A and B are shown apart, each in its own frame.
Chain A
Amino acid sequence: MENLLSYIPLDIALIAENFDRFLYGVWVTLNLTFLSLFLGGLLSIPMAIARASKHRVFNPLVQGYTYVFRGTPLLVQTYLIYYGVGQFEVIRQSFLWDPILSSAWWCALIAFTLNTAAYTTELLRGAIADTPKGEVEAAIATGHSYRSRMRRIILPSAFRRAIPAYSNEVIFMLHGSVIASTITLQDILGVGRWLNGRYYLAYEGFITAALLYFLIVLCITWAFRGFERRYLRHLTRRDAAAQTETSPLPTPERV
């Protein structure tokens, strides 16, 4: 084993020695990513409804917001909040500065939340607009008001349809969270860069970080596969049932 390891051009002992730091980095990354996904997700629901229902006032407002936040890089947004806002004396004197905008963690959380909210809004808007007409008509026919239709029929069905696309957003947000390391936070990449900087190395920190991100994405993918199996089961079952019902003859081999 000792001999085998010596062939790998990495200082594995150094990584192992500092692994607790990497674990702390994993905590910071997960914390930031999922908290911003949660808050961004909450924000996106009313915005998506405003977009889908073409509300006369809110639709253009929300559209402008998603246009700006999807149109600029997350790095620029984070820098603007972290370095840009601090340039104003008014803000430095205000109640917003001390606990919130002076802290790198809060700045990252705000930037990430606003960013993911913009993407999720558009994603949800699409899912709402895609609601099968029959579902809406049935809801109207059974006397559901707009509010109750949205709450009981349209949104639950839109959420389900959005699951596969949303898994992409989760993974993008995880990868986007490396930006935290550019504003001094010790997330996974931050720890990797710390290690490289401390011992003047090229690869060790980055490779360890890459492996950790890879593992997290693996878990996210598994989780979403589970969600899809659970919440989109009605879709798969209907397909299977439809197939057996409509084809009494033995189905030919799929090509």
Chain B
Amino acid sequence: MFRRTILSSVAAIALSAVALPLAAQDTLRIGVEGAYPPFSSKESDGTLVGFDIDIAKALCAEMQRECELVEQEWDGMIPALKARKFDAIVASMSITEERKRQIDFSDKYYKTPARLVAPKDADFEGTPEGLAGKRIGVQRGATHQCYAEKMFPDAEIVLYGSQDEVFRDLALGRVDAQLSDSLIAQESFLSAEAGADYAFLGGDHTDVECYGEGVGIAVRKGEDELREDLSKAITAIRENGTYAEINDTYFPFDIYGGRPEGQ
């Protein structure tokens, strides 16, 4: 009896391994993160929500393709794309030269600058000198890792698996400051209770070498058709108002071109 159970489960696994690629051929599998609110996060019942998620769904509708969202931790995102766990990444991934050596990108679908966040009463400045010897938390494998290490060589760069963990340890005082997307910092930390005693430190950081030219959708190298379809779909939802609709449910201003003056 026991042996039969094993045999049948082995057969089931073998079958599903054969069946999966066949069934998945027409569906477009999209890698998303799920730990980067308000762009992507998980509700308590496990459903994925957020700007990236809605954009991904809108693009699929625009391209008239069936889509499946695949969750993936951030620092394994590009390896998973290359290993064909999914076909595209819609996860707030900045288009940078270094990433372009590994993968291709669609046109940008938004662009926001990075900023430092520190306690309101911090006695240091957001400059390379001011942060010398300080601990700066950043998300591992994010553009901020590249920028923080380049811009603040005398600071100790502390790496985290997800942006949520960076904020958590900033609130506990385990790091002196953190560097992240300004919008993320505003929406999911500074405007929350945990971030009440914290504020932006210094101005915008936009460095083309590390931060690139905005956030795009990543596809494997050579998949030009998919890449162009995605770029066209982005233009289309910008024009037909779908983008604005999604944008307005999350943000008080258009994030496509970056923050307007005074924000």
A and B interact: yes
* A interface residues, Cβ below 8 angstroms from B: 83, 86, 92, 102-104, 182, 184, 186, 190, 193-194, 196-203
Q: Which residues of A have CB within 8 Å of B140? A: 193-194, 197
Which of A194, A197, A199, A203 is the most central at the interface, judged by chain B CB atoms within 10 Å of its CB? Answer: A197
Which of B102, B141, B160 is the most central at the interface, judged by chain A CB atoms within 10 Å of its CB? Answer: B141
Q: Nearest 8 pairs between A and B by C-beta?
A: A197-B141, A202-B79, A197-B140, A86-B172, A184-B158, A200-B99, A200-B78, A197-B75
**B75 nearest in chain A by CB position:** A197
Interchain Cβ contacts within 8 Å, total number = 52
B154-167 vs A, Cβ < 8 Å mask (1 yes, 0 no):
00001111000100
- The distance in angstroms between the C-alpha atoms of A197 and B74, with both chains bound, is 9
Q: Which residues of A have CB within 8 Å of B146? A: 198
- The distance in angstroms between the C-alpha atoms of A184 and B83, with both chains bound, is 26
CB distance from A97 to the nearest CB of B (A): 9
Within 8 Å of chain A (Cβ to Cβ): is B168?
Answer: yes
Tell me which of B78, B101, B169 contacts A202 (CB under 8 A).
B78
Q: Which residues of A have CB within 8 Å of B259? A: none
**B138 nearest in chain A by CB position:** A197
- The distance in angstroms between the C-alpha atoms of A102 and B149, with both chains bound, is 23
CB distance from A179 to the nearest CB of B (A): 12
B77-118 vs A, Cβ < 8 Å mask (1 yes, 0 no):
011001100000000000000110110000000000000000
CB distance from A102 to the nearest CB of B (A): 6
- The distance in angstroms between the C-alpha atoms of A150 and B59, with both chains bound, is 73
Tell me which of B75, B101, B141, B160 contacts A184 (CB under 8 A).
B160
Within 8 Å of chain A (Cβ to Cβ): is B173?
Answer: yes
Q: Which residues of A have CB within 8 Å of B160? A: 184
Q: Contact: A196 with B141, CB < 8 Å? A: yes
Q: Contact: B102 with A102, CB < 8 Å? A: no
Within 8 Å of chain A (Cβ to Cβ): is B40?
Answer: no
Q: Contact: B82 with A184, CB < 8 Å? A: no
Q: Which residues of B have CB within 8 Å of A190? A: 159
Q: Which residues of A have CB within 8 Å of B169? A: 184
Q: Contact: B141 with A83, CB < 8 Å? A: no
- The distance in angstroms between the C-alpha atoms of A202 and B103, with both chains bound, is 12
Q: Contact: A197 with B145, CB < 8 Å? A: yes
Given contacts A197-B140, A197-B145, contact A102 B99 (CB under 8 A): no
Within 8 Å of chain A (Cβ to Cβ): is B174?
Answer: yes
**A184 nearest in chain B by CB position:** B158
Q: Contact: A198 with B172, CB < 8 Å? A: no
B9-38 vs A, Cβ < 8 Å mask (1 yes, 0 no):
000000000000000000000000000000
B38-91 at interface with A (beta carbon < 8 Å): 75, 78-79, 82-83
- The distance in angstroms between the C-alpha atoms of A39 and B107, with both chains bound, is 55
What are 19 contact pairs spanning A and B, CB under 8 A?
Answer: A83-B165, A102-B172, A102-B174, A103-B174, A104-B174, A184-B169, A190-B159, A193-B140, A196-B141, A197-B75, A197-B142, A197-B159, A198-B145, A198-B149, A199-B98, A200-B98, A200-B102, A201-B102, A202-B79
- The distance in angstroms between the C-alpha atoms of A203 and B173, with both chains bound, is 33
- The distance in angstroms between the C-alpha atoms of A92 and B169, with both chains bound, is 12
**B137 nearest in chain A by CB position:** A184
Which of A86, A200, A201 is the most central at the interface, judged by chain B CB atoms within 10 Å of its CB? Answer: A200
**B79 nearest in chain A by CB position:** A202
- The distance in angstroms between the C-alpha atoms of A158 and B168, with both chains bound, is 46
